[in-house]
Amino acid sequence: MKKTLLLDRIDAYLDKAGNPVYPDTYKPKPRIKPSDLGNPSLRRIFYSYLRVAPDKKLETKVKRIFDTGDAMHEMIRSWVKGTGTLIEYKDKDGNVPPDRWTGKPNPEFPVSVPELDIKEGKIDGIIKIDGKLWIGEFKSAKDSKFQPLDDAMDDHKIQANTYVHLFEFCLQRGDYAHIKELEGFTGVEGVVYLYIDKDNSELKEFVTLKSDSDLEEIVQKISAIKKAVADKKLPPCACEPKKWCPYYKKCCKNFNPIK
């Protein structure tokens, strides 16, 4: 096979970056990822909660797609920042804390609710418009998914509404008392979604008001996962197993990591 000057090296770099190797002594602790809660499959959330390794390692072509999404996400953030409506997270010393994975400053808002086993989540943006606060969700989609959109996607709505409630909980607990722009606020109005078309950079905006019914669904989902773990029972398969699911093979074999 023809050897390239850079492409092979980029592939090797992406392979390493996408599949970090942890020391044998590292035992990841169970945790709920807020971004998982929009997924309708309890089985998938169960695997993710227990930190089960995906069926196969991340392919470099998928890592490239993820990185493209992340880059577009950052681009939208910079555009929103340019409007003067974005509130960025800073620590008590006034510095934007470094991201745990990249080491670069990460101004996304951290949320943590150990009572729900949510150790850490990050909110894309907190936006202040006309004296009201909104959660900002920035998403990218390929053209075939972007064009038919006339509202935010259902799983994104559940995910974002989770962040609404987590943010309000942390706000009222005083986690952001050092952030001047949030002084006097106890809650948010809802969510502003910005979607970008990966093919042509077209933008769409959708707005949803916060909903308490989603909160009940979220709490029910978390309780169901914790009960399944306590009972050592694999949640039922909620759909025809999907090949794109990172746990597809394990799901087909009804693999239970804690039986």
Residues that bind ligand SF4 (CB under 6 A): 41, 43-44, 237-239, 241-242, 245, 247-248, 251
Q: Which one, 126 or 245, has the nearer CB to ligand SF4? A: 245
Q: How far is the CB of 237 from ligand SF4 (least distance, A)?
A: 4
Task: Supply 119's token pair.
Answer: 């150790």
The beta-carbon contacts of 180-184 under 8 Å, at least 24 apart in sequence, are 181/87, 181/128, 182/87, 182/126, 182/133
Identity at 3, one-letter amino acid code: K
CA distance 39 to 138: 18
Comparing CB distances to ligand SF4, the nearer of 101 and 244 is: 244
Alpha carbons 15 and 136: distance in angstroms, whole number: 31
Q: Which is nearer to ligand SF4, 237 or 258 (CB)?
A: 237
Shortest distance (Å) from residue 124 CB to ligand SF4: 24
Closest to ligand SF4 by CB, 14 vs 32, is 32
Task: State the nearest-atom distance from the C-beta of 253 to ligand SF4, in Å.
Answer: 11
Closest distance to ligand SF4 from the beta carbon of 63 (Å): 20
Distances (CA, A) of 127 to 2, 38, 192, 194, 219: 50, 22, 8, 12, 26
Nearest CB to ligand SF4, comparing residues 48 and 140? 48
> Among 204, 194, 197, which residue's Cα sits nearest to residue 145?
197
Q: How far is the CB of 182 from ligand SF4 (least distance, A)?
A: 37
Contact between 170 and 113 (Cβ < 8 Å): yes
